[in-house]
């Protein structure tokens, strides 16, 4: 399922305007000191200063500003460990600020980023023998940059600590001293694009005002209810000549204030057959704004729906996908709930130059997904050194065996030469599922395939012995199992010599066309096994065999694009099997 490509874009920041009347001639050029006001709201900066990267890009602020400091909300800490008697120990607490009160601390200087500090007191009961701990942090605002132990030793990533999805994990092997552990983070400033000029004229980073002119100051700030931004006008003697303040009021629809931009992506309810919970939605777009307004690797792209940050995986982000029209390509999987009665709106936020990657790949694939291979890795043709990664937490990674990457409609896939190419998921990975199983993917043939094709083509196979195996094959003339129809796609399972074959009524497949296949296995009643092609069940499938149950719990290799099969296929060297001639994607 893909959402509509229609995306409504809006800038993320509200505009603050100030008018001031003075009856003198004055030339102003980037001489504003911006003070921090109301710095705390839910542990975040309410309003901050900007990084003066370039006058044309953001405007330049005075470089003689003071350094401002304050405290924010505490972060949550969770401990886990074992007592000397091997029983488990857990505890929870919060972080401390610089003044050792519950919270966190920040410092910010005009024209700089924001530095955050949080301390964790590690002081377990004496009976605790080993421990580790985790710290929650606002991943949409902060990026962890360092961890120092009580002996002032800087810890190493990833050996001692790591972070993903807003959670820092400190390994037990790193904790060799108790006391205050110091975490440091960096955050982006929120005030940008300072401009000024006559109230009835154009605004820029400098202005010349005449007698009776009214000075207009405008800047763009992320919206934080109740935050105040104060401007001070400094005269040549460094005295404060005048001040002006503006405060925000009311709520904003822009939830992630450190991300400058957002746009809505709508999943139309009319395209959803039934309500789904925690469903990975594929978002595949070509976008003009992502070409210039986000990090080059898309690390600052994040998705929100219903006020909640959604777990997502970026399968592909190519910022220079279309340099002529200035468009980036984004292919992302976003876990959310979708409805068959109400449109689902997913808001994509982006535009934060400092935040680290906010993806959380493993959290996307949690609802009974056993293995997910995107097959989007770049590999060398005919090599055997590439790895094809499983996106789930199970790490059922596959090994390249001659295949090569190829462009597909949704990212990259892998091409197989029909002779000896395949991907192996070896038996030591332990991909031996119990119960009902669904297998799905896309394939595209290099040549037309039909009832008169001589050589069968293996899309996927798992083979233990001739008595326990599974395969999904396009049936050629060399396939010896009657009455399976030549040209059909067959899904076969076998346990303890009891088989069940099911094959499609379709016996003709066109070269260059992508086909989406789904094979479902009913473990308790294989007569209910089904094949879907392009989202539709094959209503005229034929079955054969006497199996009354099915399972894949036997330990064996899996093959994608080729592999070993039962004796229905011709012998290739020391095995029966075959290969696929074309491309496969997930």
Q: What are the pLDDT digits (tens) for 52-90? A: 222 222 223 333 456 778 888 899 999 999 999 989 999
Checking if the pLDDT of 9 tops 60, the result is no
What phi, psi does 290 have (nearest 5°)?
A: -70, -15
- Measure the CA–CA gap between 43 and 250, rounded to whole angstroms: 19
Strand pairing category for 214-221 and 104-109 = unpaired
Asked if 438 and 519 count as a contact pair (C-beta separation under 8 A), the reply is: yes
190: confidence class by pLDDT, cuts 50, 70, 90: low
Type and span of the H or E element at 363: helix 361-364
Integer distance in angstroms from the first to the last C-alpha of the chain?
A: 13
**pLDDT of 537 above 90:** no
* The pair of three-digit structure tokens given for residue 427, joined into one six-digit string: 């038996």
User: Distance between CA atoms of 375 and 404, rounded to whole angstroms?
Assistant: 10
- Cis before residue 158, ω within 30 degrees of 0? yes
Quote the pTM value: 0.73
**Which residues, in sequence order, are bridge partners of residue 543?**
502
Per residue in 551-575, pLDDT (tens digit) is 899 999 999 998 888 766 665 555 5
Cα 532 to the center of its chain, rounded Å = 29
Rounded to an integer, what distance in angstroms lies between the CA atom of residue 149 and that of residue 130? 16
DSSP conformational letter for 172: G
Which one has a higher pLDDT value, 1 or 54?
1
The structural domains of the chain, ordered by start, are: 13-254 (no CATH), 259-364 (2.60.40), 387-585 (2.60.120.200)
Per DSSP bridges, beta strands 308-310 and 302-305 are: antiparallel
Centroid of chain to Cα 22 = 52
pLDDT at position 2 over 50: no
The sign one gets for the Cα dihedral 377, 380, 382, 383 is: negative
């Amino acid at each position: 399922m893909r959402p509509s490509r229609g995306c409504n874009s809006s800038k993320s920041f509200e505009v603050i305007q100030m008018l001031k009347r003075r009856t003198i001639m004055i030339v102003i050029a980037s001489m504003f000191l911006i003070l921090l006001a109301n710095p705390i709201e839910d542990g975040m900066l309410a309003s901050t200063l900007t990084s003066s990267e370039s006058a044309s890009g953001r405007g330049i602020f005075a470089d003689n500003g003071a350094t401002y400091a304050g405290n924010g909300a505490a972060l949550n800490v969770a401990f886990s460990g074992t007592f000397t008697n091997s029983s488990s120990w857990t505890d929870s607490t919060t972080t401390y600020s610089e003044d050792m009160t519950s919270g966190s601390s920040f410092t910010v200087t005009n024209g700089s980023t924001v530095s955050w500090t949080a301390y964790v007191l590690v002081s377990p009961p004496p009976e605790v023998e080993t421990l580790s701990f985790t710290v929650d942090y606002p991943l949409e605002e902060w990026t962890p940059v360092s961890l120092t132990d009580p002996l002032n030793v800087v810890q190493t990533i990833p050996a001692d600590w790591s972070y993903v999805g807003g959670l820092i994990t400190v390994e037990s092997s790193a904790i060799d001293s108790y006391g205050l552990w110091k975490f440091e983070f960096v955050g982006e400033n929120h005030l940008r694009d300072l401009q000024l000029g006559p109230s009835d004229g154009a605004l820029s980073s400098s202005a010349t005002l005449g007698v009776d002119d009214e000075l207009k100051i405008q800047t763009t700030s992320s919206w934080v209810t109740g935050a105040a931004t104060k401007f001070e006008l400094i005269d040549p003697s460094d005295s404060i000549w005048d001040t002006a303040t503006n405060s925000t009021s009311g709520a904003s629809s822009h939830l992630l204030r450190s991300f400058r931009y957002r746009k809505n992506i709508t999943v139309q309810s009319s395209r959803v057959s039934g309500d789904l919970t925690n469903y990975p939605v594929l978002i595949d777009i070509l976008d003009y704004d992502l070409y210039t307004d986000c990090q080059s690797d898309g690390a600052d792209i994040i998705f929100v729906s219903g006020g909640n940050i959604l777990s997502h995986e970026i399968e592909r982000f190519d910022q220079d996908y279309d340099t002529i029209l200035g468009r980036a390509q984004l292919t992302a999987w976003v876990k959310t709930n979708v409805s068959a009665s109400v449109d689902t709106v997913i808001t994509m936020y982006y535009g934060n130059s400092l935040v680290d990657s906010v993806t959380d790949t493993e959290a996307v694939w949690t609802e009974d997904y056993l293995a997910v291979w995107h097959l989007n890795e770049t590999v060398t043709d005919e090599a055997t050194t590439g790895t094809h990664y499983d996106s789930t937490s199970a790490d059922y990674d596959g090994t390249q065996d001659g295949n090569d990457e190829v462009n597909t409609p949704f990212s990259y896939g892998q091409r197989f030469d029909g002779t000896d190419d395949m991907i192996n998921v070896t038996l030591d990975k332990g991909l031996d599922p119990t119960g009902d199983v669904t297998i799905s993917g896309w394939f595209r043939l290099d040549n037309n395939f039909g009832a008169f094709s001589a050589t069968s083509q293996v899309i996927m196979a798992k083979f233990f012995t001739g008595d326990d195996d599974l395969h999904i094959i396009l049936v050629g003339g060399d396939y010896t199992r009657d009455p399976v129809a030549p040209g059909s796609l067959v899904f076969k399972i076998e346990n303890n010599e009891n088989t069940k074959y099911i094959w499609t009524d379709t016996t003709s497949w066109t070269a260059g066309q992508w086909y989406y296949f789904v094979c479902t296995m009913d473990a308790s009643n294989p007569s209910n096994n089904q094949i879907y092609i392009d989202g539709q069940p094959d209503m005229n499938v034929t079955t054969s065999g006497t199996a009354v149950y099915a399972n894949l719990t036997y330990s064996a290799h899996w093959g994608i694009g080729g592999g070993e099969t039962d004796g229905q296929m011709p012998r290739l060297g020391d095995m029966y099997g075959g290969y696929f001639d074309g491309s496969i994607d997930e």
